[in-house]
Amino acid sequence: MKQLKLILVLLMLNSFLYSSEEIPTQEEVAKLYVATFNRAPDSAGLTWWTNNSGLRLSQIAKSFFDQPETQAIYTPDTSNGDFVTSVYQNLFNRTPDTDGLNYWVHELDIGSFSKNSFIQAIINGAQNTATSNDADILTNKTTVGLSFSEAGLSNVDDARTIMAGISDDDTTMTSAVNSFGVPLHVVPILLNGVDISNSLKIIENAQEIVGNLIENKYIDYYTFTLKQKSTIEFDISPIVINSYQSSFVNLFIYSSDGNELLYVYGNEDINKYVLNLDSGKYYIKISTFENKNDLTKYRLLLNYTEGIVVPDDYSDIPTESYPIKLNSSTSGNLETLKDIDYFRFTLSQSTSITLSIKAIEGNTNNIDSGFLAYIYDNLNNQVEAVGIYHKYKPILLKAGTYYIKVKKIKKSDDDVYPGLIIGGVSGYQFILNEALYGLVTSPYTDEVWLDRNLGAQKVCTALDDEACYGDYYQWGRLTDGHEKSNSSLAKVQAYSLIDSGDKFITYKSSSIFNMDDWSLIDENGFYREKSWSLVDGNGICPNGFRVPTSTELEVELSFTTNSNEALNMFLKLPSSGLRDTSGGFDNVGKAGSLWSSNPGNGAFIDGSARVISYSIDSKDMGYAPRSQGRPVRCIKW
């Protein structure tokens, strides 16, 4: 079988021998210099062979063996085995494998190949494998050789010196040319017929890049190199500044020979993609596809551990499920509707988790397929299910082992998840994260609450600790980005309660009878009150929790008279201030408040909601404009 493989390789290599029988390029001749002499081409020699000799590449390769330098290196007593080994070392910094060495020695012994035709065959057959990056090493040596020649240098000893130490690591090229004070030759790198060599940037492992794109004009390109086969996590997402910018960014992954390996798009929800890649050099292309011609920012991050590879296929048996950890992303493939993948994770204590899943587009034009992910406990009780279009809210799980089952959506599920296309893309990616929140129990009512405000990074220990302030929600709005303290502003009232954008709406009422409301509809607040009262995870609170009523807040804070007492009570309430109707911030570090789920009907015609507020010397349950941004604390249903 090995002999057959070698014959097939030979046939393939033979097809390359006369692929350049027109005027040879300097790059092709430079490779002959590397293979034959183990040095860079001298400027005078390279110019003569390519511009003045009138010879084809195969004739140049043959003529090299008539040169005194070649005859001094390969003396008459040089065996074919030593010759083959020398060429491999010159080109790839390694010895040939045993089967390859024996084959080529035999072919040279019986005259099937001349030495020069053998060199051409090996050059044209160079490729990266799991054990050696031959193609990348040869490319780097050729680049350094051309850099030497283009600088007008012709000293043969220097030509050998500059080539010493060149490997598949691009930094060895830079070091070599810098030692001679010559510029690095730019090798054309073609992706889809476009030379990207002048715009290519290196991205390192764990390096976060924030880039800019002018849509439909500029495209960014990056490159990275793997020394071992590894599982790579690509984290790509747009940074949307205003509603006129694209909310999607395209990510393409290419091999060193220009083959497209992956195409996905990142959005503001799930944006991590995982791919198993062999050792070698790879290229990344970042672009957008919306025709809006304005500046777009994006975030790109690569994460991997050299040599660590996760399985391409997972077990469909729960007891053989693949172990995963919290705060990680996992990718897989389901080729048919019958395929199932199982994963498991273990919690050492009660923990709030979130799970989200997305279809991954490969290098086809297929659109998203449907996927469902189920969470089961160790008694096979279904805890939750999530689809690719659901924004999954946190769910509290007790300590123990849990299983995640991923399947392709069935046609019969189309009524539940309308509009999904069955078939097509088979790749999926899900993210399992630990939610931020712990639980506290009221000593007054025995009610269970989250231990911090929505969006807070920690439990409060000081009135002015910004990490515990949390997000600033406009009353009745969903979690859409407006609640972040750095969200941008919009002056136009929203026409929708579900899709109101990601901006903080700074509408001011012209009526003295109405408070400011961010929405044009739902004047009495009926639907927004219902939304904030949901306990199924479709409101703003984690699954099983809701926004408290004004009565519930009053009861819990009945023994609290000021901000210091609010901090020291069981809820550990911060003095986070508020975001006013103009988008600015008031009383930060001095006073605090919490929205209730109740609108303020009765006190005003519309535009208000009930809120409990506290400052350094007072506490009050009152009314506030719905367009103000205030913190929210959730209570267990």
Residues 6+ apart with CB under 8 A from 191: 221, 254, 258, 283, 285
Token pair 């009780």 in the structure block, residue: 381
| Structural domain range at position 68 | 2-187
Q: Distance of CA 470 to CAs 240, 456, 466, Å?
A: 21, 4, 8
Has residue 311 been placed in a domain? no
d(CA 545, CA 370): 28
Domain termination residue (choose one: 137, 158, 187) = 187
Q: Which of 111-125, 179-193, 416-430 has the lowest mean pLDDT?
A: 416-430
* H-only helix segments in 468-626: 526-532, 550-556, 563-568
Domain termination residue (choose one: 166, 187, 208) = 187
What digits encode the pLDDT tens for the residues 241-252?
554 455 577 889
Has residue 591 been placed in a domain? yes
Q: Which of 37-41, 56-60, 451-455, 532-536 has the lowest mean pLDDT?
A: 532-536
Q: Say if residue 234's pLDDT is above 90.
A: no
Q: Say if residue 617's pLDDT is above 70.
A: yes
Residue 11 is given by DSSP the state H
pLDDT at residue number 65 = 94
Q: Say if residue 85's pLDDT is above 90.
A: yes
d(CA 390, CA 232): 26
User: Do residues 272 and 234 make contact, with C-beta atoms less than 8 angstroms apart?
Assistant: yes
Kindly state whether residues 225 and 167 are assigned to the same domain.
Answer: no
- What's the number of domains the chain is made of? 4
Kindly state whether residues 112 and 232 are assigned to the same domain.
Answer: no
d(CA 105, CA 127): 21
User: Do residues 210 and 232 make contact, with C-beta atoms less than 8 angstroms apart?
Assistant: no
User: Which amino acid, one-letter code, is at 105?
Assistant: V
What digits encode the pLDDT tens for the residues 543-580?
778 999 999 999 999 989 999 999 999 999 999 999 99
Has residue 308 been placed in a domain? no
d(CA 456, CA 317): 39
pLDDT at residue number 183 = 92
CA dihedral 345→349→350→355, nearest 10 degrees, is -20
Q: Tell me which residue of 552, 546, 528 sits closest to 609, measured CA to CA.
A: 528
Kindly state whether residues 244 and 178 are assigned to the same domain.
Answer: no
Has residue 313 been placed in a domain? no
Kindly state whether residues 503 and 623 are assigned to the same domain.
Answer: yes
pLDDT at residue number 407 = 86
Kindly state whether residues 370 and 350 are assigned to the same domain.
Answer: yes
Provide the percentage of residues in the chain whose pLDDT is more than 70.
83
Most confident by average pLDDT, 187-201, 417-431, 547-561: 547-561
pLDDT band at 601 (very low <50, low <70, confident <90, very high): low
Kindly state whether residues 106 and 202 are assigned to the same domain.
Answer: no
Kindly state whether residues 158 and 144 are assigned to the same domain.
Answer: yes
Domain termination residue (choose one: 254, 273, 303) = 303
- Is the model more confident about 295 or about 27? 27
- Give exposure, 494-506, as e/b (b: 16+ Cβ within 10 Å): beebeebbbbbbb
Q: Say if residue 338's pLDDT is above 90.
A: no
Helix, strand, coil shares of the chain as percentages rounded to 5? 25, 30, 50
Q: Tell me which residue of 224, 318, 347 sits closest to 279, measured CA to CA.
A: 224
pLDDT at residue number 37 = 96
pLDDT band at 595 (very low <50, low <70, confident <90, very high): very high
d(CA 315, CA 207): 33
Kindly state whether residues 497 and 479 are assigned to the same domain.
Answer: yes
Residues pairing with 226 in the sheet: 280
pLDDT at residue number 615 = 94
- Is the model more confident about 431 or about 612? 612
Token pair 């509408």 in the structure block, residue: 507
- Is the model more confident about 298 or about 290? 298
CA 32 distance to own-chain centroid: 40
User: Which amino acid, one-letter code, is at 462?
Assistant: A
Kindly state whether residues 447 and 530 are assigned to the same domain.
Answer: yes
Q: Say if residue 603's pLDDT is above 50.
A: no
- Give exposure, 128-164, as e/b (b: 16+ Cβ within 10 Å): beeebbbbbbbbbbbbbbbbbbbbebbeeeebebbbe
d(CA 390, CA 388): 6
Q: Which of 38-52, 297-311, 366-380, 536-550 has the lowest mean pLDDT?
A: 366-380
Element (H, E) at 636: strand 635-636
What digits encode the pLDDT tens for the residues 265-279?
655 444 667 778 888
State residue 562 phi and psi, 5-degree precision: -160, 180
Has residue 310 been placed in a domain? no
State residue 443 phi and psi, 5-degree precision: -75, -10
d(CA 225, CA 205): 10
Kindly state whether residues 391 and 253 are assigned to the same domain.
Answer: no
Q: Which of 383-387, 390-394, 466-470, 504-508 has the lowest mean pLDDT?
A: 390-394
pLDDT at residue number 7 = 40
Kindly state whether residues 220 and 161 are assigned to the same domain.
Answer: no
Residues 6+ apart with CB under 8 A from 364: 424, 425
Tell me the two tokens of residue 616: 């350094």
Q: Tell me which residue of 73, 69, 55, 59 sits closest to 114, measured CA to CA.
A: 59
pLDDT at residue number 284 = 93
User: Do residues 145 and 40 make contact, with C-beta atoms less than 8 angstroms apart?
Assistant: yes
pLDDT at residue number 602 = 53
Kindly state whether residues 446 and 425 are assigned to the same domain.
Answer: no
Has residue 118 been placed in a domain? yes
pLDDT band at 11 (very low <50, low <70, confident <90, very high): very low
Element (H, E) at 14: helix 2-17
What digits encode the pLDDT tens for the residues 359-402?
664 433 333 446 788 899 988 888 877 765 444 456 778 889 99
Has residue 309 been placed in a domain? no
pLDDT at residue number 498 = 79
Q: What is the CATH number of the domain that holds 244?
A: 2.60.120.380
pLDDT band at 216 (very low <50, low <70, confident <90, very high): very low
Has residue 312 been placed in a domain? no
Q: Which of 366-370, 519-523, 610-614 has the lowest mean pLDDT?
A: 366-370
User: Which amino acid, one-letter code, is at 332?
Assistant: G
